[in-house]
Amino acid sequence: MSVEILFPGGKKVDALIDGFTVHTDQALADGGDGMAPPPFSLFLASLGTCAGIYVKSFCDKRGIFSEGMRLTMDYNYDPVQKMIVKILIQIHVPPGFPEEYENAVIKTASLCAVKRHLSEKIENEITIKRS
C-alpha cells in the first residue's frame, strides 16, 4: 500500500489511499477552515474504528447481533508531556448481549492492529457499558 499526501490549499492536507481521498484540515482557531477533521482526530478515529471492526468480527463469528452496539473513546492527556497517557474505550452492548462474552470481546478489541502499533507507554483501557 502506498499513501500519497497532497496539499490542496490553506491548512488542508489530503491523503490518497487505495483510490480513496481522506481530507484533513485544521480548526479555525489553528488557522484552517475547519472543513474536515484535523489529522490527529483521524489517528484517534483509526484506533476506534480498528477496535470496532475487531468487535464486529467477534460478534459476526458467534452469531451475536451487533445492532445497537457502539464504541465510545476518550483519552487522558498530559499537558506536561504533551502526550496522551491513557485511552479509554467503552463497548456499549445492548440488552441481551451474552455476559459470558464480555471479557472475550474486551480482549478482542485490544488486539486491534492500530493499538498494537502504539507506544507501550500509552495505557489502553477497554470496558463494557450496558445500554
Assign domain 39-130 one CATH number from 3.20.20.10, 3.30.300.20, 3.40.50.2300, 3.40.50.620. Answer: 3.30.300.20
In this predicted model, what pLDDT tens digit does every residue of 49-71 receive, in sequence order?
999 999 999 999 999 999 999 99
**31 or 120: which carries more pLDDT confidence?**
31
The answer to whether the beta carbons of residues 76 and 11 sit under 8 Å apart is no
Return the domain boundaries, the chain.
1-37, 39-130
